Structure 1
Amino acid sequence: MGEAKFTVDLNADIGEGFGIWRIGDDEAMIGMITSANLACGFHAGDPAGLLEVCRMAAEAGAHIGAQVSYRDLHGFGRRFIDVTFEDLFADVIYQIGALQAVAEVAGTRVSYVKPHGALYNSVATHPVQARAVTAAVHAVNPELPLLGQPGSELFRQASMVGLRTVAEVFADRAYHPDGTLVSRREAGAVLHDPAAIAERAVRMVKDGVVAAVDGSVVPVHVQSICVHGDSPGAPHIAAAVWEQLRQHDIDLQPFT
């Protein structure tokens, strides 16, 4: 196998259990990703569980990101909340700070920030909430990158305050022709075939495109690929993506 011509980050949402409830197989996932998006207690994640996952990430060499969200444990952070700028600004600061303390005890650190669920979708178009998230990240540490959707309001606001942005694509989510994600409320929004997902990931990196639900080809800018840790069979999906990327001379490295 020749020298890798492409380099990409592979991220997944983990640490999303709460108490006795566990979502996904964090231990299986952590060895197959380069960046771990950790819940911060607002949509999922309890302190003891997050400390355990941070220790696993530190041992595996995966970089840790704060996956900030609305305060919505009941809805897993997937419901829009019309929160004020001041409240969201403080909530994001609080979540990053909490995870940072846990990460430091585990021998690692928070390397980036990624919004979760409904907040991720909201900050793509909502100027006030996007500004609250970017202002909070900048206030905590202006060197922290933001992982998210290219062309979003979040990225526009980030550029205004000088935050680095990292473009993300989703190997296991369906896309509309305009490059937006198909809502989870619609059939076929989440893909489950490991081989097909892995093939999409390779095409995204090498060709810079993804097939939309109508069959059209959508251009994508890829710095990091997300596979969802809470999907059924997530470890098998992550393993298939990892293997296919490596087989196509695509090097996997954290973006931070």
Structure 2
Amino acid sequence: MTLTCLFDINETVLDLSALDGLFTDLFGDPQSRTLWFAQTLQNAMSAELCGRHAPFETQGQAALEMIGARFGRTLTAADKQRVADALKRLPAHADVRAGLDFARAQGVRCIAFSNNARAATRAQLEYAGLSDAFADILSAEDAGASKPVTATYRQAASSLGQPAEDLWLIAVHAWDIAGAQAAGFKGALLQRRPDQVANPLAPPQVTAGTLQEAVARILAHEGRG
């Protein structure tokens, strides 16, 4: 059976630090981009808990206003559009192309899986030069929810026509791994930074420092290494 791995996109495949200059320009603080993405995730998760889902892009726009209020900055429509445009022009992390090429050479079916709408993810991957690396693009929006809601992973498994137990998620976020595991997936936590740590309440099946290492450890876990 073909081994299928789903790859989180924002921060796992694509490098959001490319936005740091723009966010410093908009908010006057070099940490504002990190704060914004964390606020976006908090908004999305809070909305799901409250039963008030909104698209991930909408949550990101709301987070921009919240970070603006925090730093005493009022963003114009043009400012918000600059961020939206920049999000479509993110580079891949340095280890991504080699990791994806290795995975495909080993017969792994690579699937992009993001909270973003499918069209937005497609545009991101085209800009990053990774369109050829993924067999398909899935969106959590297909389930009318955002990760880590269990239904998003189950919908992904249904779309792929495979049992959740046969699927892997690769991500830098412990919360994403936890959500995938709750749906029956196995998880590989990618730890490029010291703060990308495993949750002891939802430990990943494997951890790795690079994407290629993560794929190699998944293969070994599956007895294919």
Mark yes or no: TM-score above 0.5.
no
What's the TM-score, normalizing by structure 1? 0.33
Between structures 1 and 2, the one with greater strand share: 1
Higher-helix-fraction structure: 2
**TM-score (ref. length: structure 2):** 0.36
